[in-house]
Structure 1
Amino acid sequence: MSADVREAALQRPPAEIRYADELAALRAADDGPRPPGWQLSLRAARRFVVGDEEAGIGRKFVGNAALVERALVTLATNRGLMLVGEPGTAKSLLSELIAAAVSGTSTLTVQGGAATTEDQIKYSWNYALLVSEGPSQRSLVPAPMLRGMAEGRLVRFEEITRCPLEVQDCLLSLLSERVMAVPELDGPEGMVFARAGFNVIATANTRDRGVNEMSAALKRRFNFETVFPVADFDTELALVEAEVGALLRRSGVEAPPDRDVLEVLVGTFRELRVPQTSGERLSAVMSTAEAVSVAHAVGVRGWFLRGEPGNAADVVTCLAGTAAKDSPEDLARLRRFLEQQAGRRPGAAWQDLYRARHLLAG
């Protein structure tokens, strides 16, 4: 199966598949010094993430280039990288892009949660082989952290603060001693030493602060970098337009998103995220990622129901599910914004949004 066919068959291909051509071109032209175990030099990895128009490398992360540089420098040392910020600020995307650039794969991933166990982080056993043969390399089932250490690759730990404290702290020895003990195995096989290139990128959103606060010992093993929301309207609009266009094509939608509708959608999200005129801030996460999700739903709704790109009425209908997640008051705040602010804004799309306010469910 060719790479193009394989990519087309996947709902969301990982970065190393989506951008395989760019990664190959960067490797071929990369003459910079590479940290041990890295597939690209630090300069080439930076170009992959933030883009290089002259080399035909698209920009993938809309954020501070200095943040990307600091993150890469951290990973070239023996300290882990912790990306923190509001939900939807592209922390996971940044960790995926960096892992793809540095290690060639972004799929060594642990998804943190209340049910995450050490087995899912380090290793487990094939119990049929364990019973019949006893502990052996054949019966050992490596989890992402063991594979990352043995292969010298980056491991992504998503939403680490959603894991219980005792599960988080299983990383302490891995990040300090760079060795994982497998006590069930005898001899040299019982110790897995990290190869050059191994490190950990963890993410945590600031709304989870206090859910399972990290221990001071674990914090000392990470450098913390904060990822902020997109500050500029035009930049956020361009990002939403690009991401939604790709999602709609994968969903079988032939019509590109209507830019006027996207302007209204992004403007609404920005106003409800950090109010400028309405004073109505929602407790729900009105992030760029949520805006992309709503815009995707608008495009799908318009195309498959009417054969159109989607309009302001679809925006109102699709916004309800985003606004009503955290608090019943959020739906009322959204309704007041549509009633009191949308109609005052210039442009036909804003007027269409105002006229469609009655479609807001609830």
Structure 2
Amino acid sequence: MTDVLRAHAEQQHADELTALRKQDDRPKPPNWVLSPWAVATYVLGGETADGTVITPKYLGSRRLIEVAIATLATDRALLLLGVPGTAKTWLSEHLAAAISGDSTQLVQGTSGTAEESIRYGWNYARLLSEGPSQQALVASPVLRSMETGGIARIEELTRIPSDVQDALITILSEKTLPIPELDSEVQARAGFNIIATANDRDRGVNDLSAALKRRFNVVVLPLPDDPEAEVEIVRLRVKQLGESLSLPAELENIDEIRRVVTVFRELRDGVTEDGRTKIKSPSGTLSTAEAISVVTNGIALAAHFGDGVVRAGDVAAGLHGAVVKDPVQDRIVWQEYLEAVVRERKPWNDLYRACRELM
């Protein structure tokens, strides 16, 4: 797997999952690979009895993670809700990897997602030659998870058309998927559940029906409250991405990360961190995920076009692109922030000059 750009969670962290499995003597729900306690340890980090270090996959409220895991041990599906960049997809992947050992049963929601992606489709060549048969049926990730008692993931549920969303109602309430063409049905095995993610910031959102909402337990993932927690999240992910991309550069310290996070937080909140200066917010969300992208892009610039050390000029272009989504309004917001805030911070003079060169 060394030449794979991004391994699945269960592949990337196979050693940790194996160590947890060996030491896990707590009760497990049917068909779960790990107990709920071990799943929480895998997600939040810790250490096994034999000394194996479990790296944290999510930095945030332990109680939120415990609620999410407990939900999946019941007959209720889990909906991870939050603004873009709050690690909804990341968390759903790691939960599925730890619970069922397979995070690949995925439906990517878009405005063009068809009902077949949630229920089943047909191999039309076989359908025409043989008629409806089990061999001609093409199972969806949800159907495969029902058959194996695993976790299915549905990304961006609210981007899926409402009539397609409602195909989930029978699955979640009856734990059964009728196949009238074969005069049969698939009944979910114990352990089956669904993790869905959604946000209400993007265009093209389709609200969930009341019937569907009732079948989900909602866990809202917030943006990090603590600046240092957000800095640590960015540092960990940037390090992982740098290693997977084999970028021959590194941050000598986390000052550049801290500056990027400070810029993002101030523009998000509409006020400087000392509370003295009110500023306008741009149209974008400026999420933690975007901060990770800005710093990673800076490392790539330093590696391939610099001396291998990340400096202000390497992150300036990424900052400009992240903030200025609307070329008119956001450009004004960014320019005012540079003049009113960045310029007045003497240690940030190098960042101010680098950003001004791009205006």
Pick the TM interval, shorter chain: over 0.9
User: Cα offset for 1:345?
Assistant: 2.5
Equivalent residue number for residue 244 of structure 1: 238
Change in CA separation of 1:222 and 1:298 when aligned onto 2, cut-off 3 Å: same
| Letter paired with 2:351 | L
CA contact (8 A) 2:80 2:195 kept: yes
User: Cα offset for 1:317?
Assistant: 1.4
Equivalent residue number for residue 90 of structure 1: 87
| Letter paired with 1:62 | L
1:168 to 165, 169, 173: 165
Equivalent residue number for residue 352 of structure 1: 350
User: Cα offset for 1:228?
Assistant: 0.2
Equivalent residue number for residue 75 of structure 1: 72
CA contact (8 A) 2:151 2:193 kept: yes
Equivalent residue number for residue 15 of structure 2: 21
Which blocks of at least 5 consecutive residues in structure 2 are unaligned? 273-277
Please give the secondary structure, in 2, of the residue aligned with 1:16: helix
Give me the whole-angstrom Cα distance separating, in 2, the residues matched to 1:153 and 1:181. Answer: 19
Equivalent residue number for residue 310 of structure 1: 310
Give me the whole-angstrom Cα distance separating, in 1, the residues matched to 2:285 and 2:258. Answer: 19
- Bigger Cα displacement from structure 2, 335-344 vs 213-222: 335-344
Find out whether 1:287 has 2:287 as its counterpart.
yes
| Letter paired with 1:152 | G
What are the Cα deviations for residues 86-127 of structure 1, in whole angstroms up to 9, with x where unaligned? 110011111111111101011111111100001112211111
Which blocks of at least 5 consecutive residues in structure 1 are unaligned? 1-5
Find out whether 1:42 has 2:39 as its counterpart.
no
Please give the TM-score of this superposition, normalised by the length of structure 1: 0.93
Give me the whole-angstrom Cα distance separating, in 2, the residues matched to 1:309 and 1:167. Answer: 49
- Bigger Cα displacement from structure 2, 52-61 vs 42-51: 52-61
User: Cα offset for 1:326?
Assistant: 4.7
User: Cα offset for 1:307?
Assistant: 3.3
Please give the secondary structure, in 2, of the residue aligned with 1:341: helix
Give me the whole-angstrom Cα distance separating, in 2, the residues matched to 1:228 and 1:27. Answer: 30
Alignment of 1:327-338 (within 5 A): 328-338=328-338
User: Cα offset for 1:346?
Assistant: 5.0
CA contact (8 A) 1:84 1:91 kept: yes
Please give the secondary structure, in 2, of the residue aligned with 1:344: coil
| Letter paired with 1:265 | V
Give me the whole-angstrom Cα distance separating, in 2, the residues matched to 1:38 and 1:326. Answer: 46
Give me the whole-angstrom Cα distance separating, in 1, the residues matched to 2:33 and 2:346. Answer: 50
Give me the whole-angstrom Cα distance separating, in 1, the residues matched to 2:173 and 2:232. Answer: 42
1:203 to 176, 197, 202: 197
CA contact (8 A) 1:40 1:102 kept: yes
User: Cα offset for 1:239?
Assistant: 1.4
Please give the secondary structure, in 2, of the residue aligned with 1:77: coil
Name the one with the larger helix percent: 1
- Bigger Cα displacement from structure 2, 50-59 vs 66-75: 50-59
Find out whether 1:225 has 2:223 as its counterpart.
no
CA contact (8 A) 1:108 1:155 kept: yes
Find out whether 1:61 has 2:55 as its counterpart.
no
> Matched residue pairs, number?
350
Give me the whole-angstrom Cα distance separating, in 1, the residues matched to 2:47 and 2:18. Answer: 16
User: Cα offset for 1:360?
Assistant: 2.6
Find out whether 1:130 has 2:130 as its counterpart.
no
CA contact (8 A) 1:283 1:327 kept: no
Give me the whole-angstrom Cα distance separating, in 1, the residues matched to 2:76 and 2:204. Answer: 23
Tell me the C-alpha RMSD between the 2 structures: 1.6
User: Cα offset for 1:359?
Assistant: 2.3
The percentage of aligned residue pairs carrying the same residue is 46
Please give the secondary structure, in 2, of the residue aligned with 1:59: coil
User: Cα offset for 1:183?
Assistant: 1.4
What are the Cα deviations for residues 212-239 of structure 1, in whole angstroms up to 9, with x where unaligned? 1100000000011110001111111121
Give me the whole-angstrom Cα distance separating, in 2, the residues matched to 1:248 and 1:197. Answer: 36
| Letter paired with 2:334 | L
Change in CA separation of 1:53 and 1:235 when aligned onto 2, cut-off 3 Å: farther
2:144 to 135, 144, 147: 147
CA contact (8 A) 2:248 2:308 kept: no
| Letter paired with 1:261 | E
- Bigger Cα displacement from structure 2, 315-324 vs 76-85: 315-324
Give me the whole-angstrom Cα distance separating, in 2, the residues matched to 1:159 and 1:351. Answer: 40
User: Cα offset for 1:344?
Assistant: 2.2
Equivalent residue number for residue 184 of structure 1: 181
Give me the whole-angstrom Cα distance separating, in 1, the residues matched to 2:349 and 2:202. Answer: 37
User: Cα offset for 1:308?
Assistant: 2.1
User: Cα offset for 1:209?
Assistant: 8.5
User: Cα offset for 1:44?
Assistant: 0.5
2:249 to 247, 255, 259: 255
Find out whether 1:12 has 2:12 as its counterpart.
no
CA contact (8 A) 1:245 1:257 kept: no
Give me the whole-angstrom Cα distance separating, in 2, the residues matched to 1:309 and 1:253. Answer: 11
